[in-house]
Structure 1
Amino acid sequence: MASTTPAGLQIRPRHMDFDLPNPLPRHWHGGDAFKSHLFDAMSALFPDGERFFIDSVRHFREQIEDPLLKEQIRGFIGQEGHHSREHLEYSQRLRDLGYDIGRIEKRARMRIRFIQKRFSPERLLATTAALEHITAIMADGLLRNPHYMDGAHPALARLWRWHALEETEHKAVAFDVYNQVCGSRFMLRRAMIMATFFFVKDTLQGLAHMLKVDGLLWNWRIWRDGLRWMWGKDGVFRPLLGTYRDFFKGGFHPWQHDNLDLLYSAREEFDGAAQGQANAA
């Protein structure tokens, strides 16, 4: 079997309506500009990034013979498509506040077009697998530590937890497809180095832009407290370093980070609501 997703775990998109506030509170994460805009900057990258993921996996769909993995590819595409839709709405709320989201999106699109013209389909898929690992370990941190969203607007906190749940569910799909059609660990490691650099670069550029619009770019306390929140003793990203490095090990697979119990617990928050919304539609 090509799929290594745990037996019985179905990957299905949830049709959610998060009713994002309009207007969006400028500093929706507890009044903290740095926290709010870090999430905002990542969100602005997701619609184009997720379309790239879909295209990279879809290219190889007909080469996959395992019916289970083919079904999971279908679920992966459905989930990523819904993520893109919700984050597009999120981006519009940010535009309404005066942030130049178009510039952030243009930068991401230009890079995507560049690599799609110059990289092989296998290398594009390796990049997708690498970025899916980054989102998966961040998703695990968010689901495992609900206090990371303390003080956040409830609709935004819920959107990010929903996204984290579905990223966890499909965290191995691109990786499994890659192993079927290529499997080169060297290419995978090289893709991770490049993906990490540009993900961090683009996110920080978006964060800096939004702080500049707010007149807070050169407020050293904002940066001091924000970097401490990310990388300090109890920082939200610091515990992820070990699971990030695991990607470079020979024989690594995303489900070696077994967080099924956490996933099923998070499902309880959303599956009933998603069914209720579907029935009402």
Structure 2
Amino acid sequence: MSSTTPPGLEIRPRQLDFDLAQPLPRHWHSGDAFKTHLFNAMSVLFPDGERFFIDSVRLHRERIDDPLLKEQIRGFIGQEAHHSREHLEYSQRLRDLGYDVDYLERGLKRRLAFVQKHLSPQLQLAATCAVEHLTAIMAHALLTDANWLDGADPSLARLWRWHALEETEHKAVAFDVFQVISGSKWLRRRAIIQSTLFFTLDTLKGLTHMLKRDGLLWNWRVWRDGLTWLWGKNGIYRKLVGQYLDFYRSDFHPWQHDNLHLVYQYRAEFEPQPRAA
């Protein structure tokens, strides 16, 4: 088994300055508390989650013979490390606004410590593949559906587009490593069920905490409009269901969702352009 990432797609980290506002606008996403805090809640999960992804792939790196996949593993680790760093800064901005980020991180830290101590390296890698699938399909949607970020603060919208671009670039790396190490369809399906459950619960925990701090937890209009945005007729999550379910197929591979054109489209935003002669 070798790399299945499209030929010529280099995976490398970008060191960017997103110049996040200090203080961060409390409702930076179009003045909407629900939309803002859904993104904030996901962001809080990333620093610890991405360190776990890195560790789960590193456990198996020495068993990879394909030089191209080895190089892509280095790129994957570099990108995830930079994501963790930027989202740590984002989390500090949330602390400055009065949200209890330590409380939100505590349960995830304990769970990941348990997983790393008690579950097999193969299952840890399967979990990384599963969450990478969740982030990949959300990244695709964010880069193609204006409803995800329409009206958002420009600096935050740019950070999320950068994250989505790099999640798209490396979406198959952990999966390819898993295919070398195990390839078990049962482990993969078990992991996606568990990862979907915990991602949903962790995101809901962050969302409700931040709405409560804003005094909006019991505002029915906030929930009505927010759930319509997620799951209504044109809801951003509702559109993901088909792609999400693909992961359960025996023959699934991330690049069956062929969106390479988005990589080249959005790279122009984050890479220096050559100067005219």
TM-score normalised to structure 1 length? 0.96
Q: Is structure 2 residue 119 aligned with structure 1 residue 119?
A: yes
How many angstroms apart in 1 are the aligned matches of 2:92 and 2:49? 17
The structure-2 alpha-carbon separation of the partners of 1:147 and 1:270, relative to structure 1 and needing over 3 Å to count, comes to: farther
Aligned twin of 1:279: none
Aligned twin of 2:266: 266
Aligned twin of 2:39: 39
Aligned twin of 1:69: 69
Contact 2:147 2:236 in 1 (8 A): no
Q: 1:214 Cα shift?
A: 0.2
Q: 1:147 Cα shift?
A: 4.3
Tell me the amino acid that sits aligned with residue 81 of structure 2. Answer: G
Deviations 1:88-119 (A, max 9, x none): 00000000000000011111100101111110
Deviations 1:146-196 (A, max 9, x none): 342111110000000000000000000000000001110000000000000
Contact 2:34 2:211 in 1 (8 A): yes
How many angstroms apart in 2 are the aligned matches of 1:94 and 1:205? 15
1:99-248 equivalences in 2 (<5 Å): 99-248=99-248
Unaligned runs of 5+ in 1: 277-281
* Partner SS state of residue 272, structure 2: helix
How many angstroms apart in 1 are the aligned matches of 2:147 and 2:202? 26
Tell me the amino acid that sits aligned with residue 251 of structure 1. Answer: D
How many angstroms apart in 2 are the aligned matches of 1:232 and 1:145? 15
Q: 1:129 Cα shift?
A: 0.2
How many angstroms apart in 2 are the aligned matches of 1:17 and 1:28? 18
Aligned twin of 1:20: 20
How many angstroms apart in 2 are the aligned matches of 1:175 and 1:42? 22
How many angstroms apart in 2 are the aligned matches of 1:272 and 1:27? 31
How many angstroms apart in 1 are the aligned matches of 2:223 and 2:140? 25
Q: Is structure 2 residue 91 aligned with structure 1 residue 60?
A: no
Task: Give the fraction of aligned pairs with identical amino acids, expressed as a percent.
Answer: 68
CA RMSD of aligned residues (A): 1.2
Tell me the amino acid that sits aligned with residue 31 of structure 1. Answer: G
How many angstroms apart in 2 are the aligned matches of 1:109 and 1:80? 17
Contact 2:130 2:195 in 1 (8 A): yes
Segments ≥4 residues shifted beyond 4 Å = none
TM-score normalised to structure 2 length? 0.98
Tell me the amino acid that sits aligned with residue 194 of structure 1. Answer: Q
Deviations 1:119-161 (A, max 9, x none): 0000000000000000000000000123421111100000000
Unaligned runs of 5+ in 2: none
* Partner SS state of residue 271, structure 2: helix
Aligned length: 275
